[in-house]
Structure 1
Amino acid sequence: MHRSSIRQKACAIFSLALLGLTSTAVQAADAPAWEDKYVNPKPLADDVVLPMPCGGSMVFRKVEVPSNGPLDDYPISIGGTDEGRGYSEGAHNAYVAGAFPAGKTLRYTLMAKYDVTDLQWAAMMEGDCPTPSLVKRMPKVEIGWFDAVSFADRYSQWLRKNALAKLPKDGGEVGYLRLPTEVEWEFAARGGMKVSPSQFQDRLPPMTEGLSKQVWYAGSQSANGKLQLVGLLEPNSLGLFDMLGNVDQIVLEPYRLNKLSRDHGQPGGFVVRGGNYLTAEQDIRSSYRQELPLYDGEGPRRSKTTGFRLVVAGPVLTSADKLKEVQGAWDKLGAVSAAAATPAADPVEELSKIAKSVADPATQARLQSVSLTLRANIASRDEQRDRAVRTSLRLGAFLGRKLADDSKAVETLAKIYKTRVDAGQADDPRTKNFKDELDKEQTVLDDILRYYADTLLRTADDYGEEVVRKQYDLLQVELQGLGLAELKPFVEKHMGHLTAYRKDHKVARNLWLKNWNTM
């Protein structure tokens, strides 16, 4: 066959293939949108919906985290306290931060509301558009880590080509789909900022109606040994379904052992979290964590109990301006504040100057290492200080609310007592009972007022105004996320008393009590 004939046949084959691809693309674009019952069986008002091929979609929820700067992250405690599983799930400190801005003191990452289903998998990975049906609302299983990563990559590329404007942005960078990190997954599984810190560290997240209302686990009273459709049960505090049970969920990083305060040095297979429909009820827990090998026999490891869900995240350094902002924040990290420092008061700066003046490279390297360690210790101290400030502000708000309630109760008792005395019933036993109750409640009120004043003075005297103001802003975000927005006016009132005290240093207990009485 002549070379020109071969070229002509190749061109013809390519044209037919291109025609087929164009036809499929048109078919996908013209496909009717999937009904909610196939993709979002329990819609919520603030769902975030991203399109998929074939008229499909995937639903996400915002997982929000407080943030006060480019290097600010949120400290949490993850893992469990069961010593028998300490090598894998031992409790330890971790940090989480959002990928996209949502105002000055808040960032968020999007996490899929449900596990990826058979229907969504077919639309993205199998070429022809599937016919939506309830049976295809099953979680996609029999997959491994490479399969999940491949799905995320294809979906990211499809969105960038077909729905770029739908993706969230940070600076000039558009988000993309990936597997969640272990910290992101556990933060969301425990309820994120929608639960209190003490609830967050419980073995299970809050479930007001019991485990079986949120989790598919082994046994006839639950999954009964069968995989279940997504979205049949109730969501967690963040509006996420089936975070625990039904299918194990693949996360991004390789498995590592826990070595008390740190990860062990050897990375292993991939990690699955949350348990599945064959997991015993007593083994369901937020810290549930297992290792699976990447390969099994001659190919990738796949399991009938393993599925996955995605997050929408993005790069960290999104622009030249962001890089400059991070560099500025890094330079300040662990440094003594300018207001409190003299030229010799900042040990980090002094060490840096000394290191630069030393000629010996080895000594210079050692001094720089000490400087980095010192900066890390100061940064850790600052994070502990910030948490203590927020705790102190919350305590002031709670005490203020208690003062508001108790002062009104005392006022009511005082009015009743005065009315009975004015009516000539001072010697009546019931009047004396009212007087005894009034005296008791007044004593309690006075004690709480003293404790409130002590708390206010300690906060004002121990922490700088700028530090308190920043943590006040973050606390307002925390309270909103925890569903405690009703406390925000009390925090605001307490902050007003703090500000006034800073100006005149008057311990105005009676005025503060009067202010609380009007709440």
Structure 2
Amino acid sequence: MQAGLKGLASGLVVLGATVIAAPAMAADWDAKISNPKPAAGDVTLPMPCGGAMVFRTVAVPADGPLGDTRVMLGGGDPARGSLEGVHPEYIAGSFSDGKSQRTYLIGKYEVTQAQYEAVMADTPEACPKVAMPKRLPQTDIGWFDAVRFTERYSVWLRKNAGKAVPKEGDETAYIRLPTEAEWEYAARGGASVSPADFGERIFAMPDGMAKYVWFAGTQSANGKPQLTGLLTPGPLGIHDMLGNVDEMVLEPFRLNKLGRSHGQAGGYVVRGGNYLTGEQDIRTALRQEVPYFDDAGVRKSKTTGFRVVAAVPSLTSAAQLKAVQQAWEKLGATSATDDRPGVQLGKQAETPIEDLAVLAKAAPDPEMKKRLEQVQASLRADLALRDEQRDRAARTALRMGAFLGQKLADDGKWVDRLRSLYESQKAADPNSDRTKDYQAKVQENQKALDDNLRYYADTVIRIAEDYGDDTLKRQKELLATEMKNLGLAHLVPYLDRHTGHVLGYRDDHKVSRQKWLDDYVKM
């Protein structure tokens, strides 16, 4: 996309009733200003005044038009439970691969002074003179200023950037502040880290926090904001999400009330800590409320900046709307049509949901009709939740099967190697201590292999009995995506083989332990 920065004509940007001439595209900025740490996977969008903004792709495993991922956000400190208590959130990106993954784009760096001035410039003459100090994050602005920046940049992109801007369906991407869930999901490492690492206080920093975060003290920020991109990025290749400057998010602050948000919407939220935050206080869950206004007017802070995301509306085309409606109608109702082997439904109605719909339609009393419809909606919600829990359990079971398959492959090959050495030694000297030692090792390792193979067979049988074909196939695709995001693509063939064993057992009900082991050993 870097080539898209050149030769873009200036246009007219319409903001409300005001028509503003977009600053002309001058020579491209030096990469040291717009992308000081280039990396594979960077997505670059042009900006006014010859500038550029770089994004990173955040992947979210999700299938279907209503697919999303449940994550646990927040921290475990009881003293800050009302502010940061652990709570579930659901997240899905704007852009779909049409199969098992959605993505969104988040700024690789905090918005810099150069980028802010370029977007807010009204004329070509107002374009910033770009120099290294302009790579400092833009601070000392209010939340509404940040939102105004995203508005102007979005309009400019649509008028000037053409095909450089991502699309989904019929909709072109626009720029906005990230939601809290999007911000924290990306800061923790998203799908690129294991669930255990995702829940840690901070992402793994093997070289020490000072290599990744600007915090208070002479060994780090020393009381000043720092140029963006100087330190090592987080797991997704994103710089300075923790420390340097606080970052504003889209929605207003809400207190935490034991796993759910409190009903009052307050000021705006800043995340991540800043260059005056102590090292011991840096954490991914850190969130603070800031009033939109103070006695001087708009509340501003020299320690607060922002980064942006590129996103699209939820409904991007007429076809997407239809797909969403069809998926919504299946929520809950599909759970009643259990796809487990051997489960049969009665002949009176296809599902309990449809049964309730028939009763509600036939009810002569309007109040009774209303109550039946409420029961139907409540049951659908409960069944949809059960579906999600079932799907997560199926994915966990398949993951275990894949890991067991890899273990069987390694152990089976090792036992074969030991047995070969034993046979060679036995042929050379059948009564030697070394021959007896090899024999003992073969027996010991064979017993462990047999135990693991027995456990694997139990796993195959339980999965085959607990989950239907449709559930297994959908969750296998999602799990394969998760594994690739985690850098575990080498496990996908084991997942494929394990799922094949489950479906094969479903067909013939034969516990083929030796065949299953041979399948793995020969991989």
Q: How far apart, CA to CA, are the structure 2 residues paired with 1:369 and 1:174?
A: 38
What are structure 2's unaligned runs of at least 5 residues? 1-18
Q: Distance in 1 between matches of 2:35 and 2:331?
A: 44
Summarize the alignment of residues 85-164 of structure 1 with structure 2, pairs less than 5 Å apart.
Answer: 85-127=80-122, 128-164=126-162
The residue aligned with 1:238 is 236
| CA-CA distance at 1:493 after TM superposition | 1.4
Residue 224 of structure 1: aligned partner: 222
2:66 is matched with 71
1:154-233 to structure 2, matched below 5 A, reads 154-233=152-231
Where 1:318 maps in the other structure, the secondary structure is coil
Aligned to 2:39: 44
Q: CA deviation at 1:155?
A: 0.2
Partner of 2:449: 445
Residue 12 of structure 2: aligned partner: none
Q: TM-score, normalised by structure 1?
A: 0.93
Residue 404, structure 1, aligned to residue 409, structure 2: yes
- Residue by residue over 1:455-513, the C-alpha shift from the partner in whole angstroms, topping out at 9 and shown as x without a partner, is 11111111001110000111111111111111111111112222222221211100111
1:326 and 1:48 mapped to 2: Cα distance?
28
- Mapped partners of 2:368, 2:290: distance in 1: 46
Aligned residue among 474, 480, 486 for 2:490: 486
Q: Distance in 2 between matches of 1:380 and 1:162?
A: 44
RMSD of aligned Cα (Å): 1.5
- Between the aligned partners of 2:136 and 2:46, the Cα distance in structure 1 is 19
Q: Secondary structure at the match of 1:378?
A: helix
Letter of the aligned partner of 1:162 in structure 2? N
Aligned partner of 1:517 in structure 2 is 521
* Partner of residue 361, structure 2: 356
- The alpha carbon displacement at 1:106 in A equals 1.5
What amino acid maps onto 1:505 in structure 2? Answer: H
Question: Following TM superposition, by how much is the alpha carbon of 1:235 offset from its aligned partner in structure 2, in angstroms?
Answer: 0.9
Out of 24, 29, 39, the residue aligned to residue 28 of structure 1 is 24
C-alpha separation in 2, matches of 1:432 and 1:355: 77
For residue 366 of structure 1, report the CA deviation from its aligned partner.
1.9
| Contact 2:73 2:87 survives alignment (8 Å) | yes
Query: What is the count of residue pairs matched by the alignment?
Result: 495
* Alignment-derived partner of residue 265 in structure 1: 263
Where does residue 334 of structure 1 map in the other structure? Answer: 332
**Alignment deviations for residues 112-131 of structure 1 (CA, whole Å, 9 cap, x no partner):** 10000000011111331111
1:372 aligns with 2:377: yes
Deviation of the 1:268 alpha carbon: 0.2
2:418 alignment partner AA: L
Secondary structure of residue in 1 paired with 2:316: coil
1:248 and 2:246 are equivalent in the alignment: yes
Mark the runs of 5 or more structure 1 residues left unpaired by the alignment. Answer: 1-20
Q: Does 1:311 align with 2:309?
A: yes
Letter in 2 for 1:422: A
Partner Cα distance (2:52, 2:275) in 1: 26
C-alpha distance after superposition, 1:395-441 (max 9, x if no partner):
11111111111111111111111112112x23222221221111111
C-alpha distance in 1, partners of 2:162/2:153?
12
Distance 1:278 1:213 in 2: 16
Larger Rg: 1 or 2?
1
8 Å CA contact retained: 2:337, 2:350: no
Match of 2:76, SS state, is coil
Residue 386 of structure 1 aligns with which residue?
391
Indicate the SS of the match to 2:57: strand
User: Residue type matched to 2:216 in 1?
Assistant: A
Deviations 1:139-172 (A, max 9, x none): 0000121010000000000001101322211211
d(CA) in 2 for partners of 1:358, 1:103: 42
Q: CA deviation at 1:338?
A: 7.4
Runs of 4+ in structure 1 over 3 Å off: 338-345
1:182: how far off?
A: 0.4
Q: CA deviation at 1:515?
A: 1.1
Task: Specify the SS of the correspondent of 1:153.
Answer: helix
> Matched residue of 1:259: which SS?
coil
| Equivalent position of 1:505 in the other structure | 509
In the TM superposition, what is the alpha-carbon distance from 1:191 to its structure 2 partner? 0.3
2-structure distance, mates of 1:456, 1:515: 14
Q: Deviations over 1:28-78 (max 9, x none)?
A: 22x100111011000112111000011001001111112211111111100
Q: Which sits farther off after the overlay, 430-439 or 76-85?
A: 430-439
3-state SS in 2 of match to 1:63: strand
SS in 2 for 1:500: helix
What amino acid is the match of 1:360?
D
Q: Which shifted more, 314-323 or 138-147?
A: 314-323
